[in-house]
Amino acid sequence: MLGRICVYCASSPGRNEAITHATVALGKAFVARGTELVYGGGSVGLMGLLADTVLAGGGHVTGVIPTRLFSSEVAHRRVTRLIEVETMHERKRAMFEHADGFIALPGGFGTLEELAEIVTWAQIGMHQKPVGLLNVDGYYDALLRWLDRSVEDGFMVTATRDRLLRETTVDALLTTLDGAGAPLE
């Protein structure tokens, strides 16, 4: 079982109740499993909801946030550990270093960019940590079709596409990540 999982998610709450429920379910599952949450350090949106859920259950939360986002993302000052960095690049690197695996919840450009970078890092051999996508209510169906098309058109090999583990429920995704094996680093 992975001890620390980085979750990429939105600083906005969104409007889909299924996504809200999945975020809470993920936080509760982390607590039940004794998994530490590593995330972007915000107190608002899905980020805040996830961190609050883990903290309310007595779990551990590490937040990583750039100084300039303290006001716009309202840094979560009640997390177990809040790491302040200068840049977004430093944020992503610190989250990577503190995590044994990764999950992307639904989100916008920031979530997509973080997910794409961590899968790319795996593709080029920078890590062997599992990366999972929680496809709540079909949110990522179009992205998954695009990945399939990338394979069909020869821009990506199947093995690269398959580095992105994907499930539709929290329990299935956590089981899949655990089955992907322990990180090799």
Handedness of CA 63, 65, 67, 72 (dihedral sign): negative
State both tokens at 104: 């992307």
101 in any annotated domain: yes
* Average pLDDT score, the chain: 94
Task: Provide the CATH number for the domain around residue 30.
Answer: 3.40.50.450
* 1-42 confidence digits (pLDDT tens): 899 999 999 999 999 999 999 999 999 999 999 999 999 999
Give me 57's structure tokens: 């259950």
Asked, for residue 183, whether it belongs to a domain, the answer is no
What 3 state SS string does 26-63 have?
Answer: HHHHHHHHCCEEEECCECCHHHHHHHHHHHHCCCCEEE
pLDDT tens, position by position, 123-139: 999 999 999 999 999 99
Instruction: Determine the average pLDDT of the residues in 75-79.
Output: 91
Global pTM value: 0.94
Range of the domain at 149: 4-178
Q: Does some domain include residue 185?
A: no
Flag whether pLDDT at 181 surpasses 70. Answer: no
- Nearest Cα neighbor of 134 from 96, 93, 172 is 172
